[in-house]
Amino acid sequence: MSLKATSAGTESAQEASGSSRRIQDLPPSYLTHELRAPITAVRLGLEMLRDSLGSRLTHQEDGLLSIAIKNSSRMEGLIDDILDWAKISAGKMDVRLSSVAAGEIVREAAEGLQALAIAKGIRLTREEPEALGPIMAEPKRLQQVLVNLITNAVKFTPPRGRVVVSIKAGRGEHEGTAVFRVKDSGPGMSADELEKVFRPFVQAKAGAASVGMKGSGLGLALSKLLVELHGGRIWAESWPGCGCEFYFTVPLASATDRATRPVYPELVEYHGLLLSLSRRLNAFLALLGL
């Protein structure tokens, strides 16, 4: 090999390395934004194709187009999650709080996912809220949290199962908040899985194995960040084989003097054996319906 050829090869390698570094330096929000537009165009094109062909499509062709559209929509959702995650992680997302009815947000989220539940043979119900004042929230973001939780519940609940969404006034340490609950009849989670369920890119092994599905692993982590931006908390209670219950709180409008007195003045962290025993006790009480 000549010196000239070796020099050219070295320059090419250096250019490739430089390009790679430049790509790595790009923020995730830029990369996902550049991906979203073409994927949206693909989905819209597929929907227009299916609508224009209509009855001329065979059953198999219509099924293949539906799968392609569904996967395109799933990719859009994943990109949106990554964009939101990048914004919150960079401290560039703010929630615009206003006084809203909690029951209305739950109704819209549940009704929007009825078709998904019916297609899987699952009963999705919502319990009528008790007398509850308005909450301080950004409706769009709070619905995003509920949609994430309900979608997960439907996904991990077997056919003929049930998902229940409810709201109640917070008591004890949660006084001054509305407590949202999404309960499913899926496979449940172990104590170890509960410890990690809100970490990014983590998914319960039992649930994923039982339904043969795997999501992005960002939904619950993103939900946690959005709830905390509202000044609330989120947690899960479960027992293997007995389903899951996800709870989150949002301050009531009457408690919005939290600029001087937050609903949760100080976050207390518990570790070790006490935390494990507490979670197991809560899961057992949830199993008994207490």
Query: What mean pLDDT is predicted for residues 208-229?
Result: 73
Contact between 145 and 95 (Cβ < 8 Å): no
Predicted confidence band of residue 219 (pLDDT cuts 50, 70, 90): confident
The most distant pair of C-alpha atoms in the chain lies apart, rounded to whole Å, by 84
CA 79 to chain centre: 13
Q: Decide if pLDDT at 154 tops 50.
A: yes
Q: What is the CA radius of gyration of the chain?
A: 23
Q: What is the pLDDT of residue 7?
A: 44
Note the CATH number of domain 98-288.
Answer: 3.30.565.10
- Which DSSP string do the residues of 111-155 spell out, in sequence order? HHTHHHHHHTT-EEEEPPPPS---EEE-HHHHHHHHHHHHHHHHH
pTM score, whole prediction: 0.70
Contact between 95 and 230 (Cβ < 8 Å): yes
Three-state SS at 99: strand
Residue of 188, 131, 185, 177 lying closest to 160 (CA atoms): 185
Predicted confidence band of residue 180 (pLDDT cuts 50, 70, 90): very high
Q: Decide if pLDDT at 163 tops 60.
A: yes
Q: What is the pLDDT of residue 9?
A: 46
Task: Specify the CATH number for 3-89; select among 2.20.70, 1.20.120, 1.25.40, 1.10.287.
Answer: 1.10.287
Give dist(CA 113, CA 131) in Å, integer.
25
CATH 3.30.565.10 occupies which residues in the chain? 98-288
* Cα-based distances in Å from 126 to 26, 121, 129: 43, 16, 9
Share of the chain above pLDDT 70, in %: 71
Sign of the four-CA dihedral 114, 181, 227, 254:
positive
Query: What mean pLDDT is predicted for residues 252-256?
Result: 74
CB contact set of 28 (below 8 Å; sequence gap of 6+): 82, 83, 85, 86
Share of the chain above pLDDT 90, in %: 35
CATH 1.10.287 occupies which residues in the chain? 3-89
Query: What mean pLDDT is predicted for residues 169-195?
Result: 91
Three-state SS at 252: strand
Query: What mean pLDDT is predicted for residues 25-50?
Result: 74
